[in-house]
Structure 1
Amino acid sequence: MIANIVIGGVIFSYAGWMLVRHIKKSSKGKCASCSLADNCQGSCTPYQQENRI
């Protein structure tokens, strides 16, 4: 019974952490939260493309 409570607690804690992480990333915007934002050649980062020249 204790094992079930611990496993359930771990699952709900992880789900809560992922939900908070998703909300924080989505509030930054599409390109700001992208893991490739520093190396992106897309249209979202015109400032970074101008400074590379």
Structure 2
Amino acid sequence: MIANILIGGVIFGYAGFMLVRHIKKSSKGKCASCSLAKNCEGSCASTYSYNQENRI
């Protein structure tokens, strides 16, 4: 009985942690929350302008 409560607590705790993490990342925007934001050549405006300035 105690083991079931502990396992359930761990599962719900992890789910809550992942939900909060997802909400925080999604509120930053598409490129700001990406792990490859500094090296990405995607469609982000800041990355695009940076690449255009350093093209020479």
- Aligning the two structures, in what range does the TM-score lie when normalised by the shorter sequence? 0.7 to 0.9
In structure 2, the partner of 1:9 is 9
Please tell me the root mean square deviation across aligned C-alpha atoms, in Å: 1.3
Q: Comparing both chains, which one has the higher relative contact order based on Cα–Cα distances under 8 Å and sequence gaps of 6 or more?
A: 1
Q: TM-score, normalised by structure 1?
A: 0.86
Structure 1 runs not aligned, ≥5 long: none
Q: TM-score, normalised by structure 2?
A: 0.82
Runs of 4+ in 1 over 6 A off after TM superposition: none
Pairs aligned (count): 52
Structure 2 runs not aligned, ≥5 long: none
Which one has the largest radius of gyration? 2
| Alpha-carbon offset, residue 39 of structure 1 | 0.4
